[in-house]
């Protein structure tokens, strides 16, 4: 997917573990892991809001657009 | 009464399907046994079939065996449909109707029902040919049955979309 999640980089900058972030944000560790590994298909504004608040960052710090071909299963959504 | 989950209508229907499943296995076993027995064991006395054409047709083992083999085949298709239906109902009982496999199961059910309907249409012709009857009229096209087959295929597509939406929801963080 052209949208890449840079959660690992932001976490490294903040010296915060994924488990700690999961506790603070109120999202399960499994779901945050899906997000971090780029397997997520969509993100709620409420999740993005909580992440930005806890990591003290902007949405653009977490999400980056990288031009490239879409995933094979993305076409099914339309 | 709830439609899905443990103790629901779905679970009751699944129990009914379990019973039908066992009965169909017994029926197939019985029909195959009769097929084999009709070839091995000689018929006691003379057996004739009345086809409404005056004189009856003499039934020989080579005429009886294919009839029972055909019936076993028909029952096997029915069993296949019931097996797929049981699996669909198992997911309904578990409260997971949009299981990713239900789409292909419903398509298989549709294919099975279509095969049964074709068998229904062709069986009179096959039977008449086997027994050497002069009239070989097949059953006409049953629009209700074919419409039901179509509905099952449409339902399969609905379940595919449901499974896709479920996956999307699962991967929405």
Question: In angstroms, what separates the C-alpha of B159 from chain A's closest C-alpha?
Answer: 14
Q: Which of left, alpha, beta for A56 (phi over 0: left; psi -120 to 50: alpha)?
A: left
Q: Is residue B54 part of a domain?
A: yes
Interatomic CA distance for residues B34 and B68, integer angstroms:
7
**Chain B residues whose beta carbon lies within 8 Å of the beta carbon of residue A77:** 164, 168
Identify the residue whose tokens are 């049964």: B116
ipTM associated with this complex = 0.72
Question: Which tens digits make up the pLDDT trace of B89-107?
Answer: 999 888 888 998 999 999 9
Residues of chain A with C-beta less than 8 angstroms from the C-beta of B173: 27, 31-32, 34-35, 40, 42-44, 47
- Which residues of B make CB contacts under 8 Å with A? 164, 167-168, 171-173
Q: Are B135 and B128 in contact (CB under 8 A)?
A: yes
In a domain, B128, yes or no: yes
DSSP class of A42? B
| A3-67 has CATH 1.10.260.40 classification | yes
Structural domains in chain B (count): 1
Whether the per-residue pLDDT at B31 is higher than 90: the answer is: yes
Minimum CA–CA partner of B165 in chain A: A77
Task: Report chain A residues whose CB lies below 8 A from the CB of B164.
Answer: 76-77
Cβ neighbours, 10 Å, residue B46: 8
Q: Would B98 be classed as within a structural domain?
A: yes
pLDDT, tens digit (0-9, with 9 covering 90-100), for A7-60: 999 999 999 999 999 999 999 999 999 999 988 889 999 999 999 999 999 999
Q: Say if B4 falls within a structural domain.
A: no
């Amino acid at each position: 997917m052209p949208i890449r999640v840079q959660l690992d980089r932001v976490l490294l900058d903040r010296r915060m573990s994924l488990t700690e972030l999961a506790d603070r944000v109120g999202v399960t560790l499994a779901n945050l892991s899906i997000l971090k590994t780029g397997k997520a298909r969509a993100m709620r504004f409420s999740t993005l809001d909580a992440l930005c608040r806890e990591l003290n960052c902007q949405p653009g710090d977490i999400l980056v657009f990288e031009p490239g071909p879409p995933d094979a299963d993305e076409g099914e959504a339309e | 009464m709830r439609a899905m989950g443990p103790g629901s209508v779905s679970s009751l229907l699944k129990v009914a399907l379990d019973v039908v499943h066992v009965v169909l296995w017994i029926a197939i076993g019985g029909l195959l046994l009769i097929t084999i027995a009709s070839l091995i064991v000689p018929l006691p006395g003379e057996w004739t079939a009345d086809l409404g054409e005056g004189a009856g047709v003499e039934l020989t083992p080579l005429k009886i065996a294919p009839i029972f083999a055909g019936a076993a085949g028909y029952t096997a298709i029915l069993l296949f449909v019931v097996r797929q239906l049981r699996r669909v109902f198992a997911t309904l009982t578990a409260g997971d109707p949009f299981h990713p496999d239900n789409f292909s199961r419903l398509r298989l059910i549709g294919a099975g029902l279509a095969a049964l309907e074709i068998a229904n249409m062709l069986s009179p012709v096959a039977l008449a040919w086997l027994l050497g009857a002069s009239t070989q009229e097949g059953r006409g096209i049953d629009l209700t049955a074919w419409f039901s087959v179509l509905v099952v295929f449409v339902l399969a597509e609905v379940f595919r979309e449901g499974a896709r939406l479920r996956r999307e929801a699962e991967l929405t963080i």
